[in-house]
Amino acid sequence: KAGVTQTPRYLIKTRGQQVTLSCSPISGHRSVSWYQQTPGQGLQFLFEYFSETQRNKGNFPGRFSGRQFSNSRSEMNVSTLELGDSALYLCASSPRQSGLEQYFGPGTRLTVT
Amino acid sequence: GQQLNQSPQSMFIQEGEDVSMNCTSSSIFNTWLWYKQDPGEGPVLLIALYKAGELTSNGRLTAQFGITRKDSFLNISASIPSDVGIYFCAGHTPAEDMRFGAGTRLTVKP
């Protein structure tokens, strides 16, 4: 089975721009979660989707949003980028509704200049 | 609260030695997960624990879900150079929020 795939792998954006990241879960997985990883804050939960519905949301500003499509693929969007948004954005999929046993993709490295 | 305290932050060991790391919290967790992350990659799930007291092995790795549901440990026996990386504990709270420890950076000297 193919693993979780994320595109693009690397991205450089300018402050004020917006960005959309994509995640394709493992086939058959319907739960997708997004995380932000930085050296200072570690892994922080952004949101979780199951069957196109957001089940959980972390403590991030409204500039961070996401969605899930009927084929379980997910996108996250960050608007009005700030320098502090530079991070590795990880997507994880799970075969279970509650999102347990999460399998991570390789991440998208976002650099905001 | 529901934060995970992972220790040690880093370890430098000789190839062949055993390794032990742990995670603790002041709150209970319903699951404990252990991940390994290599540079530039996403975390890879090593072991998942679902019941208090559960002891599970995956090759040279062994992890246990503490009986108080507030802690977990991961042991690596007979370490090898490819064990190098950052190990994260994670857990699901009763509200099904997932929390991560800050990670243990393992260095193995040949």
pLDDT, one tens digit per residue, over B83-98 is 999 999 999 888 777 8
Please write the tens of the pLDDT for every residue from A56-93.
888 899 999 999 999 999 999 999 999 999 999 999 99
Instruction: Tell me, yes or no, if B105 comes closer than 8 A to chain A by beta carbon.
Output: no
- The pLDDT of residue B2 is 55
Q: How far apart are CA A94 and CA A74, in angstroms?
A: 13
Structure token digits, residue B97: 């929020």
Instruction: Tell me, yes or no, if B103 comes closer than 8 A to chain A by beta carbon.
Output: yes
Residue B39 — pLDDT band, cuts 50, 70, 90? confident
Rounded mean pLDDT of A26-34?
Answer: 93
Sheet of B19-24: strand order equals: B5-7, B19-24, B71-76, B61-65, B55-58
Q: Which residues of A touch B40 (CB under 8 A)?
A: 106-107, 109
- The pLDDT of residue A98 is 63
Contact B45 A103 (CB under 8 A): yes
Rounded mean pLDDT of B16-22?
Answer: 97
- The pLDDT of residue B1 is 47
